[in-house]
Structure 1
Amino acid sequence: MAAELNGKRILILATNGFEQSELEVPRDRLKAAGAEVHVVSPEQGEIKGWDKKDWGRAVKVDKALSDAKAADYDAIVLPGGQMNPDLLRADKDAVALIKAFYDAGKTVAAICHAPWLLIEAGIAKGKKMTSYSSIKTDVINAGALWEDSEVVTDNGLITSRKPGDLEAFSKKIIEEVREGKHERQAA
């Protein structure tokens, strides 16, 4: 498994309040598969996670959002938690970066509340998706075809429900990145 993603670069977009495991588990699995993984944020230095019911550990920011370009990466991973995607969906640069990954046919992976970012980027309509149960109505109202599954993939667009689904979510990201670019209609 260690060489599956050699030469691949993955961007994890997050800010303060990301769900701890939803950033750390995919990051660690992708690195173990050989990918170069960068945590990108509008914040400098480090960002602090949310671990279940309280503040968690800090994670080092590798690159500023203002310096990140979809062209430099093979995939983008969007951790959830309530705060992280809610803050990022109000950031026009974060939303534009997500849309750039999608429009380039690259893997876009969102878990838990992070499908809010897909909605904000205008890429949910007509797509098969899942999410944390509390935002199911938001996803459906955005025109997505919501289903209650551990992981849902629609042409390189990966969504997952919750931290308990992280292993399957991480495996699917590895599989989709290995497949390469996806032909899709621009949103």
Structure 2
Amino acid sequence: MTADTNPDPRVARALASLRGLAVGDALGAQFSHPGSHPLLRRRRLPDGPWRWTDDTEMASSVVAALAADHRVDQDRLVDAFARRHDSARGYGRGTDWLLAQVRAGGDWRDLSVGMFKGHGSWGNGAAMRVAPLGAWYAGDAEQATHQAEISAYPTHQHREAVVGAMAVAAAAALAASPAGPP
């Protein structure tokens, strides 16, 4: 479904945010290895094609979940994460392992909590995927933070990671507000 075929402005905002996230993600991925530093110094873009990473892949699942349920359903979201999981997209070791275990029938609740000696992941992945969620909830930062919190737990149980996702979602909701950012 595209924004053109769906009259719901939430879908249009989320897809616009997702497109921006995907371009930034694919561009950023080109500069994430030491061999790209000379290009940066010369202000040159690397030749294409540019591949997006796990962040765009997971953000796509977030948008699909919102379009289907109009909220985040953790079980359906983690199932989508696991179904779309492609290790070649650059997932962190913990999330790569977690999603493979979920695909094999594991329960994300037990798996996610047990990661990193029981502290849960405190990486930035949950924050990297929620800008479209914030755009979905434009002007409602409270609901955006609530849904971002729910969306973070399947892969990132550490409170710092969850709060990071909540902050990004709130900022995106405020930026996408019909009234504009404060």
Answer whether TM exceeds 0.5 for this pair.
no
TM-score (norm 2): 0.30
- Which structure shows the bigger proportion of residues in strand conformation? 1
Instruction: Give 1 or 2: higher helix fraction.
Output: 2
TM-score (norm 1): 0.30
